[in-house]
Amino acid sequence: MIDLKFLQNNFDLVSQKLQKKGVDSAVIERLGEEFASLKAINAKLEAAQADQNQMSKLFGQYKKEGKDVAELKSKVDANKELIAGYQEESRSAEDALYTIALSIPNLPDDDVPHGEDEHDNIELRRVLEPRRFDFIPKEHWELAEMNGWIDFERGVKLAKSRFSVLKGQAARLERALINFFLDQNAKRGFEELCVPFINNEAMLQGTGQLPKFGDDLFKIEDENLYLIPTAEVPLTNLYHDEILSESDLPVLMTGYTPCFRKEAGSAGRDTRGMIRQHQFDKVEMVAIAHPDKSDEVFDMMVENASDILTALGLPHRVVRLCDGDLGFSAATTIDLEVWLPGQNQYREISSISNTRDFQARRAKIRFKEDKKNRLVHTLNGSALAVGRTLIAIMENYQNVDGIIEIPEVLKPYMR
């Protein structure tokens, strides 16, 4: 959630920044008004409550002294009705405010480049030269079929479209990658966690998936629970509504989880192969950082993910997202895109974001700084998307017969 006090004092700035994220300035104006009217009604309510408390104390005193309370009681009764009315007003003002506030995306950082969509993203650098093939490299689904690695049809039979089954060496490679990623993250100081794959509504609101993006989530029937779309949800919310001590920061966490996404609105995109599935494996990094030091942590996370790709010998590029392409919660994002020779293009394999205090405000994650509580910064990034790494290995390590070599660093993990 954005800082409403900041909004009050910097309307033009906020409004202009959110324009890029597709928010109409009229909505921002509404938001400011709702905030102001909530504060106004709460002031009235609190004054009336103060009166009530005073009179109740008097009441007790009168009783003790044997005085007549009839007049006082009628005053108290009248005030009570006043309070009930204010309470109702306050409640509806609050509803109105949060209905809007929770659906407003984060403000982009000042140094985020301007742009409409992914075409305006800025390539920062390329790492590793793509290999030159003396034959036409195949796409991963073709390789999968030749090697008997992926059973798309039976995945569909078991669940529905966009589900698949990994077999034999591919299943083993998937597991090897998970272990490799977790080990690499541990070397950077990320503590490994194994968390619930189902989270409740409050957690999904904390990280920003709800209330706005419920259509992308698998909900458990008759329960207030959802399959997680990313480990960012449980890892970040581990400290939901908690106050950390300054010395705890930064908290660096990593975890493997499957991720479940409905992919609503992705009809027809990447329907072939394993690029876009309803269920996929991912190893995630999450950091809870001191607000003055989150930039350092962010750089480290980007470096870590890039280094893992390099260790696997996978060519990739580092891309800075423009404001038009930023996700809902992100203030700044860097994507890593891996080279897929079969597709002859770079495809996203990791996305690393600093949400600043946006998620922290929603999830109430704070730390003590000189007796005062201050919101932390939360960061998240993939290191890495496992299925897409598997695809990248298949396409980059194929030979002319369709045989796929195992990257050197993974061999110990395949034994």
Partner RNA sequence: CGGGAGAUGGUAGAGCGGUUGAAUACACCGGUCUUGAAAACCGGCGAAGGUAACACUUCCGGGGGUUCGAAUCCCCCUCUCCCGGCCA
* Residues noted as catalytic: 261, 276, 348, 351, 388
Shortest distance, position 234 Cβ to RNA, whole Å: 16
Residue for token digits 């990739």? 316
Residue whose CB is less far from RNA, 73 or 272: 73
Shortest distance, position 333 Cβ to RNA, whole Å: 27
Shortest distance, position 6 Cβ to RNA, whole Å: 11
* Per-position x/- string for 195-234, each x denoting binding to RNA as judged by CB under 7 A, each - no binding: ----------------------------------------
* Per-position x/- string for 354-373, each x denoting binding to RNA as judged by CB under 7 A, each - no binding: ------------x-x----x
Give the rounded distance of the alpha carbon of 207 from its chain centre. 5
- The answer to whether 92 contacts RNA (rule: CB under 7 A) is no
- The answer to whether 8 contacts RNA (rule: CB under 7 A) is no
What is the total count of residues that contact RNA (CB under 7 A)?
25
Shortest distance, position 172 Cβ to RNA, whole Å: 22
Which of 136, 238, 335 lies closest to 228 in space, CA to CA? Answer: 238
Stretch that binds RNA, among 69-77, 251-259, 303-311, 319-327 (CB under 7 A): 69-77
Q: How many CB atoms lie within 10 A of CB 41?
A: 20
* Per-position x/- string for 28-47, each x denoting binding to RNA as judged by CB under 7 A, each - no binding: -----------x--x--xxx
Residues 252-311 that bind RNA (CB under 7 A): none
Q: What backbone torsions phi and psi does residue 352 show, to the nearest 5 degrees?
A: -120, 125
C-alpha span between 147 and 402 (Å, rounded): 8
Shortest distance, position 307 Cβ to RNA, whole Å: 35
Shortest distance, position 363 Cβ to RNA, whole Å: 13
Burial class (CB in 10 A: 0-12, 13-18, 19+), 72: middle
Residue whose CB is less far from RNA, 269 or 372: 372
Contact with RNA (CB under 7 A): which of 198, 243, 311, 406? 243
Residue whose CB is less far from RNA, 25 or 42: 42
Residue whose CB is less far from RNA, 90 or 184: 90
Residue whose CB is less far from RNA, 50 or 122: 50
Contact with RNA (CB under 7 A): which of 24, 71, 73, 264? 73
Q: 3-state SS of the chain? A: CCCHHHHHHCHHHHHHHHHCCCCCHHHHHHHHHHHHHHHHHHHHHHHHHHHHHHHHHHHHHHHHHCCCCHHHHHHHHHHHHHHHHHHHHHHHHHHHHHHHHCCCCCCCCCCCCCCCCHHHCEEEEEECCCCCCCCCCCCHHHHHHHHCCEEHHHHHHHCCCCCCEECCHHHHHHHHHHHHHHHHHHHCCCEEECCCCEEEHHHHHHHCCCCCCHHHCCECCCCCEEECCCCHHHHHHHHCCCEEEHHHCCEEEEEEEEEECCCCCCCCCCCCCCCCCCEEEEEEEEEEECCCCHHHHHHHHHHHHHHHHHHCCCCEEEEECCHHHCCCCCCEEEEEEEEECCCCEEEEEEEEEECCCHHHHHHCCEEEECCEEEECEEEEEEEEEHHHHHHHHHHHCECCCCCECCCHHHHHHHC
- The answer to whether 23 contacts RNA (rule: CB under 7 A) is no
Contact with RNA (CB under 7 A): which of 24, 29, 71, 80? 80
Residue whose CB is less far from RNA, 59 or 413: 59
Shortest distance, position 288 Cβ to RNA, whole Å: 16
Contact with RNA (CB under 7 A): which of 65, 68, 77, 221? 77
* Per-position x/- string for 47-66, each x denoting binding to RNA as judged by CB under 7 A, each - no binding: x-xx-xxxxxx-xx--x---
Shortest distance, position 35 Cβ to RNA, whole Å: 9
Residues forming the site for RNA (CB under 7 A): 5, 39, 42, 45-47, 49-50, 52-57, 59-60, 63, 73, 76-77, 80, 243, 366, 368, 373
